[in-house]
Structure 1
Amino acid sequence: MESRVKDLSLAEKGREQLYWAERNMPVLLEIRRRFEREKPLAGQTVAACLHVTKETGVLVRTLAAGGARVVVIPSNPLSTQDEVAAALAQEGIHVYAWRGMSERDYYNAIGFALSFQPTVTLDDGADLTSTIHKLRHGIRDKTLDYVMETAGSVDAEKLVAGLRGGTEETTTGVLRLRALKSAGKLLYPIIAVNESYTKYLFDNRYGTGQSTWDGVLRATNLLIAGKNVVVAGYGWVGRGIAMRARGLGARRVIVVEVDPVRALEAVFDGFEVMPMDEAAKVGDIFITATGNIRAINLGHIFKMKDGAVLANAGHFNVEIDVAGLERVAVAKRQIRQYLEEYTLPNGRRVYLIGEGRLVNLVAAEGHPSEVMDLSFANQALAAEYVVKNKLAIDVYKLPDELDREVARLKLKTMGIEIEELTEEQRQYLTSWELGT
């Protein structure tokens, strides 16, 4: 099977979307031009488990320009842009993705990618990476049964032996990789792209900050001004969401945090901080960004106002207790395309956006192309790095010089020049003799 997408007739529309993304991703295009000349990925098979969006399409085209055979599968069942998947499939990229996949479909897609015996993996949430590890370590479960339906006769030992390395895009995924490393079970080297400055300072903060609210607004069309907004988690994603809530005129922005340093930072940034038990009583809109399970549990939900809106900006749909909500609700109905109303036994109603999945990609289009230009430039350079360098098995940060190169290229495309150190200043910074 070369590809499986929803409808190949959508390809022309997908090419238009890719054109628009490329107009706003000049750094990645600059890298593509070099890749076309140098072919640093020649002979490699890259399996990309990413949100299949127009921005991902620009990355995939860049990897293919570098000489790679590319297989694209989704990292979320509801985030695929079907027109982009169709366009990529028509260009000879191997795609197994469509919007609205079942759990079985989703893991069939991972099996499809593994059937190509990839030598490099690009991941967003570590589902592809963890599946490879389950397969090699002999950990069988239902999802692995689904994987094997499309993986063919893939040999786990041979697969791992052929892997040069991988990358990981998200905070959640990096946590899973660190857990594998701590358990002594990590099987191949991974670049934690999420730890690059030009990724998390911009994608996580500015990209998610804007796109999360884009998803909330498309799903609800609510006025944010005057509302009490509760943000669970004050990492870089939470910071961006809270910042944009204030900019939209929220009356109160309340942060819920377990880390005392981050909580203190939120206070110094001008936000209220309190436990979720207290925030649940006053919030109008709740957004989770913790990377952990049940940041909002049933106890919290029962304390909420009639009409409270719940959304999740974390990678997995575990941060809001959706299963518990489904179990106790006395009624449920769909109000808008991505908005469901649950009536609780106490008569109050709460509204869940996008099944509790990643709100910016379920109810909107994900991050703006301009910010994904940075993230996917890191992905492309990371793929090149793991191919060119024989790395020991570990979780790595992309070298700082590559991080700075991405920033330099972005500034150049924006027409911005920066200062340079004089020789005297360089000597001062590298000398111990000079002082006051």
Structure 2
Amino acid sequence: MGVEDGQARIDWARRSMPISAKAAGQLQAEVASHIGIAVPLDPATASMALWLIEAGFKVSVLGVALAHDTAQGAAELLAILSDAGANICDSRDAFVNAGFDIALDDKGEDLPDGLSRAVVLLAHEATAPDIPIIHLGASSLLQECVSKHGQGQSCVSGFLDITNLQIAGSHVLVIGYDAAGQGIAKYASSYGARVIVCEQDPVKAVKATLDGHQVAVLDVALPKATVVFHALENETCLTLPQLELLPSGAFLCSAGHSQHHSLFDQIGFEVPGKIIRDHVTQHELGSGTNVKLVCNGMPIHSQLGKGFPLEIADVQIAAQLHALATLIAPECDLGPGLHPLPNSIEIELAKAMLEQA
């Protein structure tokens, strides 16, 4: 894979995202507007960065958090962005000190001082901003489209692509039943898996039951599970002693949204593990049980340079561009704090999706 392949993937993405292309065409850069981008990199997000550059913005991109060792093609995408004029930051310190005044961030955990405004895909619970931030994670449209269907499909299909296994008849454990967990359960079930859901919130657990899935506590579910999708957004509830309960050879996948948290680090595996297949490492536990960790515990849907299905990426990228346009508009009067994507934009995006259907 080379730069030519990366350019071909970007060209395909741009042609396949008409809603985003329209939103990009309406952007006008302010004088000296500088946008810092720290979101998972794939052809869709690379396309967005290029559209911003073409609209006259200066763009800085955090390359380290985007280009994981398992993200094939990320280096090529970063090279294309660099050639287009983007400032590629090779460390978080370099990114924070890049001098941008508008941020587009994954979780808003490391927003630098001096920002005037930001767009955050999924705000951290502890986020207490003193600047206007549009929080896209609060959008019901994006929860349904991106988290449930986009993340759900790409997590399950990513696992199947990486392992070349089928899951029909297997017990698949989904930990967490927010939108992402719902989507993973839906798509795993569509492949014939027997889905078990572990969810501490009783209302979400009832929803999982009504959706036709078995609900169980971890200690009951783990001994049955041959594939585990960890769909909690922040800290894991899994420990090394709990992994001993899994059948030997079970697969463990992260389906969380954040690029800053690896299951490998959170669970505390003592050694990297033995590579048994591209993007799969085997870890021997104390009892002799082995667990196969996919993508080194990084979010499986954003690894390998694939990202969301382009129809889903289209609405997500368009939402990000509309949010940026809202913040830079002269009439913007948003005060400090988290703000939802304006309802008028959600309706516009929903109508655009219906037109594409």
Per the normalisation by structure 1, the TM-score is 0.76
Letter in 2 for 1:12: E
What per-residue deviation string (whole Å, max 9, x for no partner) do you get for residues 119-151 of structure 1?
11000122442xx2xxxxxxxxxxxxxxxxxxx
Higher relative contact order (CA 8 A, sep 6+): 2
Give the match for residue 230 of structure 1: 173
For 1:15 and 1:317, how far apart are their aligned partners in 2? Answer: 27
Match status 1:179 vs 2:126: yes
What per-residue deviation string (whole Å, max 9, x for no partner) do you get for residues 186-243 of structure 1?
2311100122233211010111111111221232111111100000000000000000
For 1:292 and 1:94, how far apart are their aligned partners in 2? Answer: 29
For 1:49 and 1:324, how far apart are their aligned partners in 2? Answer: 25
Alignment equivalent of 1:56, drawn from 23, 38, 45 = 45
When you count helix as a share of all residues, which structure comes out higher? 1
Letter in 1 for 2:280: L
Give the match for residue 19 of structure 2: 27
Give the match for residue 400 of structure 1: 343
Give the match for residue 250 of structure 2: 308
For 1:256 and 1:49, how far apart are their aligned partners in 2? Answer: 31
320 and 49 in structure 1: CA distance in 2 versus 1, 3 angstrom threshold: closer
332 and 29 in structure 1: CA distance in 2 versus 1, 3 angstrom threshold: closer
Q: How far did 1:272 drift?
A: 0.6
For 1:319 and 1:88, how far apart are their aligned partners in 2? Answer: 26
Q: How far did 1:86 drift?
A: 1.2
Matched position secondary structure for 1:326? coil
CA RMSD, Structure 1 to Structure 2 (Å): 2.1
Mean CA deviation greater in 357-366 or 402-411: 357-366
For 1:257 and 1:316, how far apart are their aligned partners in 2? Answer: 22
Structure 2 unpaired stretches of 5+:
none
Matched position secondary structure for 2:232? coil
Give the match for residue 213 of structure 2: 271
Match status 1:255 vs 2:197: yes
Identical amino acids, percent of aligned pairs:
26
CA radius of gyration, larger in: 1
For 1:127 and 1:294, how far apart are their aligned partners in 2? Answer: 17
Give the match for residue 380 of structure 1: 321
Q: How far did 1:321 drift?
A: 6.0
Q: Any conservation in 1 of the 2:109–2:127 contact (CA below 8 Å)? A: no
For 1:318 and 1:209, how far apart are their aligned partners in 2? Answer: 19
Q: How far did 1:349 drift?
A: 1.4
Q: Any conservation in 2 of the 1:164–1:189 contact (CA below 8 Å)? A: yes
Mean CA deviation greater in 381-390 or 276-285: 381-390
Q: Any conservation in 2 of the 1:297–1:321 contact (CA below 8 Å)? A: no
Give the match for residue 301 of structure 2: 360
Matched position secondary structure for 1:335? strand
Q: Any conservation in 2 of the 1:168–1:190 contact (CA below 8 Å)? A: yes
For 1:294 and 1:309, how far apart are their aligned partners in 2? Answer: 16
Q: How far did 1:85 drift?
A: 1.2
254 and 354 in structure 1: CA distance in 2 versus 1, 3 angstrom threshold: same
Alignment equivalent of 1:119, drawn from 71, 92, 101 = 101
Matched position secondary structure for 2:269? helix
Give the match for residue 430 of structure 1: none
Q: Any conservation in 1 of the 2:174–2:231 contact (CA below 8 Å)? A: yes
Matched position secondary structure for 1:410? helix
**How many correspondences in the alignment?**
350
Q: How far did 1:40 drift?
A: 4.4
Structure 1 unpaired stretches of 5+:
1-8, 97-104, 133-155, 417-436
Match status 1:95 vs 2:88: yes
Matched position secondary structure for 2:36? strand
For 1:236 and 1:278, how far apart are their aligned partners in 2? Answer: 23
Alignment of 1:123-138 (within 5 A): 123-129=105-111, 132=112
Give the match for residue 7 of structure 2: 15
For 1:66 and 1:227, how far apart are their aligned partners in 2? Answer: 49
